[in-house]
């Protein structure tokens, strides 16, 4: 027997809420902003969100693609850290597979007003990605750079390597939605990219979104603190 449209919407709502980590029964009156809602907004406009609304990841992605600004109600605006000043240092490194993308992103960082710190590699000769992931992560952990970017073929190995450095929260991102989430929810300070998975234009969009997105604070700060406490607890018990 086919489902009615209102039944389908309820099923979708429950799935989305579970994906967002929210129990439907606990927030029965919270409005859900979907991709369909954002698609109805005029490109380049500001979309006022209802109080305490939940925005799906796909809705955020479509908003970025259409240039729609999602504006929360004033009382719901998250407590965020100040945006980094223009001219901040961004450490950037790669293996041979990410060399061409690194060179392009270096010039793009300058366009955005940042100062790239090139940690290598400097050619397409075969090298080992952990060396360069560590070089970038160390600059961030030491405070020389406020953020770091590492590029290899898939972005996975560099993410693993960078996360071994204390104080680093590396995130592999493959679209603007994951870039936003890694900053808003996880306060990621190192971004890893897979040059074999994404193209030049998408890489630029991800980098811009990742650098310009503030940490959301609030409940996310509590969770990030728990991530860092795992690291501290492990180091204390060594």
Catalytic residues: 185
Residues ≥6 apart with Cβ < 8 Å to 198: 174, 206
Could you tell me the end-to-end alpha-carbon distance of the chain, in angstroms, rounded to an integer?
60
- φ, ψ of residue 191 in degrees (nearest 5): -110, 130
Q: Hunting for tokens 């129990």 — which residue is that?
A: 23
**Residue 189 structure tokens:** 């300070």
CB 191 within 8 A of CB 209: no
* Vertex 181: Cα angle to 19 and 203 (nearest 5): 125
């Amino acid at each position: 027997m086919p489902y009615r449209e209102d039944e389908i919407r309820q099923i979708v709502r429950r799935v989305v809420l579970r994906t967002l980590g929210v129990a439907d029964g606990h927030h029965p009156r919270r409005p859900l902003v979907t991709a369909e809602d954002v698609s109805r907004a005029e490109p380049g406009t500001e979309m006022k969100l209802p109080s305490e609304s939940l925005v799906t990841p796909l809705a955020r992605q479509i908003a970025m693609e259409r240039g729609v600004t999602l504006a929360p109600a004033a009382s719901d605006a998250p407590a965020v850290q100040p945006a980094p000043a223009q001219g901040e240092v961004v450490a950037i490194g790669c293996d041979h597979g990410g060399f061409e993308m690194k060179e392009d992103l270096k010039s793009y960082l300058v366009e955005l007003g940042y100062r790239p710190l090139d940690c290598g590699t400097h050619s397409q000769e075969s090298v080992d990605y952990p060396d360069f992931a560590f070089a970038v992560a160390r600059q961030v952990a030491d405070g020389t750079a406020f953020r770091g970017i590492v590029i290899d073929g898939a972005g996975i190995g560099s993410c693993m390597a960078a996360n071994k450095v204390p104080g680093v929260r590396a995130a592999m991102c493959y679209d603007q939605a994951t870039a936003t989430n890694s900053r808003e929810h996880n306060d990621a300070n190192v971004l890893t990219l897979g040059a074999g998975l994404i193209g030049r234009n998408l890489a630029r969009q991800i980098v811009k979104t990742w650098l310009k997105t503030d940490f959301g604070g609030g409940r996310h700060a509590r969770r990030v603190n728990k991530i860092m406490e795992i690291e501290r607890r492990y180091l204390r018990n060594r």
